[in-house]
Structure formats: C-alpha cells, structure tokens
Amino acid sequence: MKILKQLGFIPPYLWSTQFRLSHQLSYVQWSRKLEALKGNDEECSACIPQGKFLLYSGQRPLLEPFVDHEDHTMADSLSSRAQMLTNAPIYEPQLQQIAWLSYPEVREVCLAIFVGNVLLHMTPSGQPIYAVQVGKLSKEDRTALKSLRPDAAIQDLRVALFVVPRAQSELLSRARSLLHFHEQNLYCGACGTKTKCNAAGSYRYCETCKASIYPSSKPVGIVLVTDERNSKALLVRQPRHPPGMFTCIAGFADIGETLEACVKREVAEEAGLEVTAVRYLGCQHWPFPGSLMMGCIATALTHEVSLDTSELQDGRWWSRAEVEAAVTASAANGSPWSLTASAAGGSPWSLTSSAAGGSPWFSSEPKTAALLLPPPMTIAHCLIRHWLETTSESSS
C-alpha cells in the first residue's frame, strides 16, 4: 500500500512523538476533518507522522496491560449501543489496552514488515488513528517489538474484544474489518486487474476499468423473542458457544430483505416460531467477518419450539426469573476475566479463571444448570437487559 512509498518521503523533522492538542473539535468539525482526510491523499499522507498506530499481525492486535486509557471521550463519536439500550452501568473492561505506537516507533519496529495501513479514526482533538498490518512476525520482528514494548503482546482478537475498554474494542473491530476488506479485494471483480487503494485505505480502485470498491458491512438481524405476557424469553445456543451459554437468534439478511423480514424468517427457520411486532433497538459491529448486528425484540405468536438441529444445539423458553438471575450473575462477576502470560510459546496470552466466578465466557468447564448469558458488552446481552428494564410481566 501507499505507506511503503510515503515512509520514504516524510522528512524526519515532521516526525512528532507527541501530538499537541490545541483544542477539542466540535462533532461537526471532527466529522468534516475526518472526511477530508479520507478524501485527500496528500493531506492524509502529510498527517501520518502525527498519527498513532494500532498494530495488527494477521488477525491479531497488539495489546498491553491496562494502565489508563485516554480514549473514553471517543465513545461519544463511536456507537455507544450499550448505553443506548440500558440505564444500568455498563461493565467497562480494564484488563488490557491497545499498545499504541507512534510514527517513529512504527518505523523503528516495522519498516521491514509494513504491508499496509488504514486510517481508522480520529481523536476528538483531531489526531489521526491508523491501523497497520504487519503480517506474520518473524523471530527478529518479535525481538524488536519486545525491546520497544516489553509488556505488549499480540493477542487473539476474540479475546481482545472483551478485555479492552469498550471504545477501544470498537476500534479493534473496525480495524480488523477494514484490513480484511483490503486483503479480500486485491483484484478488480470486473476486469481482474490488480487494484490500488487511496492513502486513507477507505476504498480501492481499478485503473483499467475505473471501478471503485468500498468496504461494506454485512447486515445481520439478531432478535430477542418473548411471549405476549413478557413472562419468558427464547434463548438458543450453537455448538460453538461456550458451555452453558444461550443467546438470541441471529442470521444474515438476504439480498433485498428488510430487517423485519430477516428476523421473522430466522426465527421461523431456527426455532419453528412465528413472531410479530418486530422492533429495532440498536446495533453493534462484529468483525467476523464484518457484520452489522442489528438488535430487535419481537413477540411470539406461537409457543411450541421446533429447533433446526443442523444449526442449533439447544434452545428453549427461559422464565423471566431465570433470565433475571442470569443478568444478576453477570453483573456480580464484575471483571470475570483474568489474563496471564503462558509459560510456553505459541499464544503469549491465555485466559485463566479468576478467583471469583471463573471465566464463564471462555471456560471449557462442563455445562452447568444455570443459564449463562453472552458477555455484558454484547448486543445480545443489552437486548436482554433492555427487555427486563422496560417491561414487566402481565397477568393476562
């Protein structure tokens, strides 16, 4: 990508390790500045030395132990879906944080292994944030990185998303999807020519047939189905879910299908139920491979569950009391994860059980009788909490 060329042309006097902030931008100023950066190759390239960099090695980001993060104000400019759906305090993971690298650090560590970068976001004061893909790290690369950031480690993304503060989790998700888009669109789908990307990495283009290729999200409907009395909720599980965990029904929207039709079809296909009164509540991005999870609630017209066992391992109605107990248990866990360095090679980090409550979401323990819900920051969990907070069980 263009960074290979840009690295050679930016004079060292422009490399700043500290971005000095003069003022906070208004949201409109912020949006327009970010849009201008995406659309102007020259301006975007000129800003690279002032940027901060999130490093990805393949599908795995570089994290370090949580100290303090300065990104909480960024949540305002990202989708704060959880806060939108519930009045209760949202669990804020503070186990790890993104190991931000400055431009000189990126040059020092990654010059030989740079394979691509994308403009990811911008801080409220206008500092550009980039994600940089360094590919597979050699032993020498790892040594160089270790000398620069002794406490940092390349982390599995499925774990990383749940151990960093929520605003950073959204950045990790966005970065992985954008980098994946570039990896998947190296050639033009119309004429087969090798494509190029703009400086910001916000789109790719074909110089032969003039086609432009933009990244897009895949729409997914996720729905909490309840009965008419709000006395029970339908929760299901797939074989790949952690033992004991049940969640909402979800599926990709077909081409030409509305969100409401998608949700209705998925519930019919997977649980054999017909639903009505589908209401959209909020959404969440999920980077596997780049889904926009659109959260809904719906009311069942029929009650006899008939599972599609080719997709689901289990699924049933849970009483309101059982769901309430599961939400309370999630909150009581507080920080249910702990990270420790593994002694052996391979993945430098592994999840282990914390003293209180274990690590239910990543546990390989046998299934327990109690209902386990998805982690508190997921859209499924927020839908469930929203239902409990905004409805009450009716007698008729």
Please report, as ranges, the residues that interact with Zn ion according to CB under 5 A. 188, 190-191, 193, 206, 208-209, 211
Tokens of 342: 């593994």
- CA 369 vs CA 167, 244, 246, 305: distances in Å: 34, 7, 12, 20
d(C-alpha 32, C-alpha 30), whole Å: 6
Closest approach, Cβ 85 to Zn ion, in A, equals: 43
Nearer to Zn ion, 133 or 195 (CB): 195
* DSSP of 61-114: EEEEE-S--S-GGGGGTS--HHHHH-SSPPP---SEEE--EEHHHHHHHHTTT-
Q: Amino acid letter at 303?
A: H
Nearer to Zn ion, 182 or 232 (CB): 182
Tell me which residue has tokens 């009965």.
227
Nearer to Zn ion, 51 or 215 (CB): 215
Name every residue whose Cβ is closer than 8 Å to that of residue 152 and which is 6 or more positions away in sequence.
62, 63, 64, 99, 145
Nearer to Zn ion, 117 or 198 (CB): 198
Say if strands 212-213 and 204-205 run parallel, antiparallel, or are unpaired: antiparallel
Closest approach, Cβ 207 to Zn ion, in A, equals: 8
Query: Per-residue b/e over 68-78, b at no fewer than 16 CB within 10 Å?
Result: ebebeebbebb
Nearer to Zn ion, 190 or 331 (CB): 190
Closest approach, Cβ 186 to Zn ion, in A, equals: 12
Nearer to Zn ion, 16 or 193 (CB): 193
Helix ranges restricted to H, the chain: 3-9, 27-39, 41-47, 81-85, 103-110, 139-148, 157-160, 166-184, 259-271, 320-333, 379-390
Tokens of 233: 């909720």
Nearer to Zn ion, 138 or 193 (CB): 193
Task: Report yes or no: 53 and 101 within 8 Å, Cβ to Cβ.
Answer: yes
Closest approach, Cβ 213 to Zn ion, in A, equals: 9
Closest approach, Cβ 182 to Zn ion, in A, equals: 16
Nearer to Zn ion, 14 or 209 (CB): 209
Closest approach, Cβ 197 to Zn ion, in A, equals: 14
Closest approach, Cβ 193 to Zn ion, in A, equals: 5
Closest approach, Cβ 347 to Zn ion, in A, equals: 40
